[in-house]
């Protein structure tokens, strides 16, 4: 706390926001929209900047597509017109594939929402941390640990689906909550920064899953490689669109994700606990002065965030995969950081951002088929989106949008 | 209790230090019990440690030890250390003793694992140095950035990009150009980090995360779109061969471990020395640290905070890019998607464990490299210990260190905070 006399106070949001303990959203003088949703800022920073960020990222992605084909680059010297035409065709094929793969058919929409499910849950995990001033980089590890516990409940117990599935999901929540709660506890009790501890916890979880998948209790019988037993049918999240086509993978996980988004919204903006979370996030010293228990808040925030991450892993295990292999979290926990920023750390924003990122994942596969532009381009686009979201001044400079709020600081440095 | 405090009036110790001292003492006793029960009781046979490689000039004879005897000795010594720690304490040499204790436990473990077998100790320690190379460069990159209060989470991405460019340019124009390209791309990514963190005051963790995602995405994309089809011409680089240092390389035991490696290892030694000297003995270093500890004071004294931050962050990125080139030019000879597989984060851990000091970072990287090479060699010894737990060790150690349970790591005071000139 000794460093509080310089640094954070001199920058960031306007002084009047800093001065009050009351978090944004409930204060007087804010718009109707803000009061309903608890969202900060005006429509420019809520809608315009994210849209322009996505647009700009796609444009830069198109440039990368254009310059990453060696034969096409050679053609520019011989026949510039033809090269231009082919380049446009290549970009068109790629983005056309991206769009049809994501939204062009029932299958596409199903895939988009299937990917969106864990993304939304993991995004909520990161977002709830942001709201409380904690940077949860550990969604990946929480997904893994939660998913593993859900897996064990899923294959070990033998119950009716009405009991088994909720228990498996609860197991996933608890597994993640423990994995997130320990860094929260360490932060509260020892000051160990959650960014460092959650990064380390991610890797511990990755290695642990590698190990666990080789133990006789979890490894599938008769298999030498790392693959788990199958989750019993009674713990699987039911498929939702089987009546159209049995191939469609969309499952009840999306309902879990939407319910979780609503629950997080209620927790953050309608409950006393959530008020404390946000107060601690806005100004921990002020919250302490106002009589709130900051230590308890840190632990609870990280436990809830971890639980949501755990749910994200569980929906992967119980819904899409049915068993665990190394890396079943598919880096979704890292995408979640980008997603929470894009969604402005608001539950409803996270849902929209989750659907967008789900569309990128689902469409990326179609893009690869339609135009042999590799799916890894999606990562580049996501990274660029975050750059423009995190540095809105870049958007202001490119598009001459007025009155965009400057960059936000979430972490207060490691030297606390 | 009162008598105890009365007899140590020399140094005033805070309650946290006393608590920490007690915890370390208890850790020693627990370790002694652990070594006794797991490694000593019921272990039979001699462990044979080979201390020389076949092509050494001076062939040291093999070291034969009774595995149980070794473990009993270590356990007794640890118990003694624990007793001293709990009653008298080791004062300033606490950390050195702690390191020694850990080394002894590792030795007892090796004795137990190699009981009845022959095991090349020199080979494993040689591999330790090799494994620590990218970790050290990553940690040095972190030290450079964080000493001027810019958190660099993007080390992993810089390593990965350095590895990619090392392979691509190295294949086209030779390994030296590959290294140069790796250095440049690392510097470029660091420049982006610096602009985002300093100019636009983006949250530095986010900026680092972005760099990691971007680097993973762009290298994987370019690998699948360009390198895979032309792997003969674009992804096949001549790797640096090991070169034995004259005289130093002939020192028994030490020589093959430290002085029979390729260019990158020697560059690592030099760089650690140069950065340590520059940070703590030169005007530039004093100013850099001032910028990291108290930028406002530094600014008042006429130091250009922004210039120092830009310069050091870019230098840090170049170091990471150089370390990344090691993966392809110094080791594998070809780029593979996500081939750094988290080494950048171990580098981050090594920086913290090494307390933001270049020499500490090297020491930490060697410790982490040891657990890595131990994991690689465990398969040969057929121990029942799963290798995954050894791979976890760096991360667990780091959590313990940042939590201050054994020792306390203190980052630069302004770390992570953007500076606004008034």
Least reliable range by pLDDT among B264-278, B307-321, B378-392: B378-392
Helix-strand-coil split of chain A, %, nearest 5? 70, 0, 30
Give me the total of CB pairs closer than 8 Å, taking one residue from chain A and one from chain B.
190
- Residue B202 to residue A200, Cβ atoms within 8 A: no
Residues B316 and B284 in one domain: yes
Average of per-residue pLDDT values in chain A:
85
CB B210 within 8 A of CB B192: no
Is B285 in the same domain as B203?
A: yes
- Cβ contact (<8 Å) for B206 and A379? no
Owning domain of residue B84: 2-116
Whether B151 and A7 lie within 8 Å, measured CB to CB: no
Among A350, A348, A344, A310, residue whose Cα is nearest residue A329: A310
The yes-or-no verdict on residue A393 having pLDDT over 90 is no
From B215's Cα to the closest Cα of chain A, the distance in A is 8
Instruction: Tell me how close the Cα of B219 comes to any Cα of chain A, in angstroms.
Output: 9
Determine which of B142, B168, B203 to mutate to test the interface with A (most A C-beta atoms within 10 Å). Answer: B203
Q: Which of B94, B116, B138 is the last residue of a domain?
A: B116
User: How high is the pLDDT of residue A182?
Assistant: 96
Residue with the bigger pLDDT between B322 and A187: it is: B322
Same domain, B206 and B310: yes
What digits encode the pLDDT tens for the residues B78-106? 999 998 888 887 777 777 788 888 888 88
Whether the predicted pLDDT of B365 surpasses 90: yes
Listed residues B82, B116, B150: the one ending a domain: B116
Q: Give the lowest-confidence range in A286-295, A386-395, B15-24.
A: B15-24
Which residue of A lies nearest to B353 if distances are taken between CA atoms?
A196
Between positions 1 and 60 of A, the ones with CB within 8 A of B are 2-3, 6-8, 10-11
CB contact under 8 A, B210 and A137: no
CB B60 within 8 A of CB B253: yes
What is residue A24's predicted lDDT score, i.e. its pLDDT? 42
The pLDDT of residue A7 is above 50: no
Between chains, do A383 and B213 touch, taking CB under 8 Å as contact? Answer: yes
Tell whether B313 and B379 lie within a shared domain: yes
What is the rounded CA–CA span in Å between residue A69 and residue B286?
A: 48
Residues A14 and B35: their CA atoms lie apart, in Å, by 59
Please give the pLDDT value at position A47. 81
Pairing of strands B260-261, B243-244: antiparallel
Q: What is the model's pLDDT at position A63?
A: 93
Q: Pseudo-torsion of CA A63, A64, A67, A72, nearest 10°?
A: -90
In a domain, B422, yes or no: no
Render pLDDT for A148-173 as a digit per residue (tens, 0 to 9).
Answer: 999 999 999 988 989 999 999 999 99
For residues B71 and B126, membership in a common domain is answered with no
Of residues B217, B386, B398, nearest to A379 (C-beta)? B217
B417 in any annotated domain: no
Residue B21 forms part of a structural domain: yes
Q: Are B34 and B71 in contact (CB under 8 A)?
A: no
The answer, as to whether pTM is greater than 0.90, is: no
Residue B240, domain member (yes or no): yes
Model confidence over B170-225: pLDDT tens digits?
999 999 999 999 999 999 999 999 999 999 888 888 899 999 999 999 999 999 88
Same domain, B270 and B329: yes
- Are A67 and A86 in contact, with CB atoms under 8 Å apart? no
One domain, residues B76 and B175: no
DSSP A235: G
Whether residue B414 lies inside any domain: the answer is no
Do B362 and B293 lie in one domain? The reply is yes
pLDDT of A399: 84
Residues B93 and B216 in one domain: no
For an interface test with A, the pick among B16, B164, B192, B217 (most A C-beta atoms closer than 10 Å) comes out as: B217
User: CATH no. for residue B247?
Assistant: 1.10.3470
**Residue A41: pLDDT band with limits 50, 70, 90:** low
Closest Cα in chain B, distance from residue A165 (Å): 31
List, in order of start, the domains of chain A with CATH numbers.
Answer: 49-399 (1.10.3470)
Cα separation, B18 vs B31, whole angstroms:
20
Of all residues in chain A, the percent with pLDDT exceeding 90 is: 56
CB atoms within 10 A of CB B96: 10
Number of domains into which chain B is organized: 2
Is residue B409 situated within a structural domain? no
| Cβ contacts of A381 on chain B, cutoff 8 Å | 217
B385 part of contact set with chain A, CB < 8 Å? no
Contacts of B226 in chain A (CB under 8 A): 68, 70
Query: What is residue A412's predicted lDDT score, i.e. its pLDDT?
Result: 61
Predicted pLDDT at A6:
38
Interacting residues of B285 by C-beta distance below 8 A, sequence separation 6+: B277, B278, B279
Is residue B418 included in any domain, yes or no? no
**Range B32-36 average pLDDT:** 91
The average pLDDT across B3-11 equals 47
Residues B43 and B104 in one domain: yes
Question: Cβ contacts (< 8 Å) between B212 and chain A: which residues?
Answer: 334
Q: Among the three residues B116, B141, B156, which one is the final residue of a domain in this structure?
A: B116
pLDDT of residue A406: 59
For residue A133 the two structure tokens come to: 């001033």
Residue where the block lists tokens 């996980």 = A253
Helix B121-147 to helix B358-381 angle (10° resolution) is 150
**Span A292-305, average pLDDT:** 93
A62 secondary structure, DSSP code: H
In A, residues 324-353, which contact B (CB 8 Å cutoff)?
A: 334-335, 337-338, 341
Nearest residue of chain A to residue B386 (CA atoms): A211
Give the chain A residue nearest B216 (alpha carbons): A379
Residues B306-331: what's their mean pLDDT?
95
Band (pLDDT 50/70/90 cuts) for residue B316 is: very high
Chain B closest-CA separation from residue A121 CA (Å): 19
| Structure token pair of residue B42 | 């019921």
User: What confidence category does residue A403 fall into, taking pLDDT thresholds of 50, 70 and 90?
Assistant: low
**Does one domain contain both B310 and B390?**
yes
pLDDT recorded at residue B44:
81
The residue of B139, B145, B200 whose CB has the most chain A CBs within 10 angstroms, and thus the best one to mutate to test that interface, is B200
One domain, residues B219 and B321: yes
User: Higher model confidence: residue A411 or residue B421?
Assistant: B421
**SS3 call for A253:** helix
Residue B75 confidence (pLDDT): 92
- Which pLDDT band, with edges at 50, 70 and 90, does B282 fall under? very high
In a domain, B413, yes or no: no
For Cα atoms A326, A330, A334, give the angle at the middle one, nearest 5 degrees: 125
Cα–Cα distance list, A301 to A273, A416, B147 (Å): 10, 18, 31
Q: Which backbone phi and psi does A251 adopt, to 5 degrees?
A: -130, 180
Integer-rounded Cα Rg, in Å, for chain B is 23
- List, for residues B116-128, the tens digit of each pLDDT value: 888 888 999 999 9
Residue B148 CA to residue B416 CA, distance in Å, equals: 9
């Amino acid at each position: 706390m000794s460093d509080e006399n310089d640094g954070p106070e001199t920058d960031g949001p306007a002084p009047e926001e800093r001065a009050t303990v009351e978090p944004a959203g409930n204060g007087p003088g804010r718009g109707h929209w803000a009061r309903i949703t608890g969202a900060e800022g005006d429509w420019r920073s809520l809608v315009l900047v994210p849209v322009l960020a996505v647009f700009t990222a796609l444009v830069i992605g198109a440039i990368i597509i254009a310059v990453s084909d060696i034969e096409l680059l050679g053609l520019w010297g011989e026949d510039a017109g033809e090269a231009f035409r082919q380049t446009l065709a290549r970009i068109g094929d790629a983005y056309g594939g991206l769009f049809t793969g994501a939204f062009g058919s029932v299958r596409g929409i199903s895939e988009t929402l299937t990917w969106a499910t864990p993304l939304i849950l993991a995004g909520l995990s990161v977002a709830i941390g942001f709201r409380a001033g904690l940077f949860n980089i550990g969604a990946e590890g929480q997904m893994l640990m939660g998913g593993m516990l859900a897996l064990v409940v899923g294959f070990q117990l033998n119950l009716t689906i009405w009991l088994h599935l909720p228990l498996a999901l609860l197991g996933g929540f608890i597994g993640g909550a423990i994995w997130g709660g320990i860094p929260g506890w360490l932060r509260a009790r020892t000051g160990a920064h959650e960014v460092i501890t959650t990064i380390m916890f991610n890797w511990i979880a990755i290695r642990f899953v590698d190990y666990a998948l080789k133990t006789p209790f979890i490894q599938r019988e008769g298999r030498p490689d790392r693959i788990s037993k199958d989750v019993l049918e009674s713990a699987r999240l039911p498929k939702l669109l089987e009546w159209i086509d049995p191939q469609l993978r969309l499952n009840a996980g999306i309902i879990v994700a939407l319910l979780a988004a609503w629950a997080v919204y209620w927790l953050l903006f309608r409950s006393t606990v959530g008020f404390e979370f946000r107060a601690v996030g806005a100004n921990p010293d002020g919250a302490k002065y106002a009589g709130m228990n900051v230590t308890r808040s840190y632990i609870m925030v990280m436990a809830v965030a971890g639980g949501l991450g755990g749910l994200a892993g569980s929906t992967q295990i119980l819904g899409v995969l049915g068993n665990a292999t190394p890396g079943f979290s598919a880096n979704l926990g890292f995408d979640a950081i980008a997603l929470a920023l894009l969604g402005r750390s608001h539950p409803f924003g996270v849902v929209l951002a989750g659907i967008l990122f789900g569309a990128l994942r689902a469409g990326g596969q179609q893009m690869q088929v339609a135009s042999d532009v590799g799916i890894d381009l999606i990562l580049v686009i996501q990274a660029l989106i975050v750059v423009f979201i995190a540095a809105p001044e870049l958007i202001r400079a490119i598009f001459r949008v007025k009155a965009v709020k400057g960059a936000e600081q979430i972490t207060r440095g490691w030297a606390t | 209790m009162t008598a105890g405090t009365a007899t140590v009036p020399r140094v005033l110790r805070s309650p946290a230090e006393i608590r920490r001292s007690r915890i370390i003492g208890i850790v020693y006793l627990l370790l002694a019990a652990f070594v006794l029960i797991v490694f000593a009781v019921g272990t039979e046979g001699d462990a044979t440690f080979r201390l020389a490689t076949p092509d050494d000039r001076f062939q040291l004879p093999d070291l034969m030890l009774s595995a149980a005897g070794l473990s009993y000795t270590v356990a007794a010594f640890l118990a003694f250390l624990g007793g001293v720690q709990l009653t008298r304490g080791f004062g300033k040499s606490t950390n050195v003793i702690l390191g020694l204790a850990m080394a002894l436990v590792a030795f007892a473990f090796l004795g137990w694992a190699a009981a009845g077998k022959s095991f090349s100790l020199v080979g494993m320690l040689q591999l330790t140095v090799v494994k620590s190379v990218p970790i050290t460069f990553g940690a040095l990159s972190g030290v450079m950035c964080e000493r001027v209060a810019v958190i660099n989470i993007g080390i992993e991405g810089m390593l990965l990009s350095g590895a990619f460019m090392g392979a691509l340019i190295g294949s086209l124009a030779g390994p030296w150009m590959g290294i140069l390209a790796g250095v440049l791309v690392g510097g470029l990514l660091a420049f982006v980090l610096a602009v985002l963190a300093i100019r636009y005051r983006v949250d530095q963790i986010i900026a680092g995360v972005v760099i990691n995602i971007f680097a993973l995405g762009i290298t994987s994309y370019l690998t699948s779109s360009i390198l895979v089809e032309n792997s003969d011409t674009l992804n096949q680089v001549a790797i640096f061969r090991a070169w034995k240092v004259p005289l130093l390389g002939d020192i028994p035991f030490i020589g093959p471990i430290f002085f029979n490696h390729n260019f990158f290892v020697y560059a690592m030694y030099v760089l650690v020395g140069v950065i340590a000297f520059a940070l703590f003995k030169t005007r530039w270093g004093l100013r850099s640290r001032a910028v990291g500890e108290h930028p406002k004071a530094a600014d008042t004294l006429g130091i250009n905070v922004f210039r120092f931050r830009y310069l050091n962050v870019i230098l840090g990125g170049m170091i990471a890019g150089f370390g990344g080139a090691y993966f392809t030019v110094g080791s594998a000879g070809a780029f593979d998607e996500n081939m750094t597989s988290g080494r950048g984060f171990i580098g981050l851990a090594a920086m913290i464990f090494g307390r933001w000091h270049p020499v500490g970072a090297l020491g930490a990287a060697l410790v982490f490299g040891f657990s890595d090479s131990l994991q690689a060699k465990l398969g040969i010894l057929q121990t029942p210990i799963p290798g995954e737990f050894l791979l976890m060790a760096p991360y667990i150690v780091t959590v313990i260190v940042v939590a201050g349970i054994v020792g306390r790591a203190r980052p630069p005071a302004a770390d992570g905070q953007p500076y606004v000139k008034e």
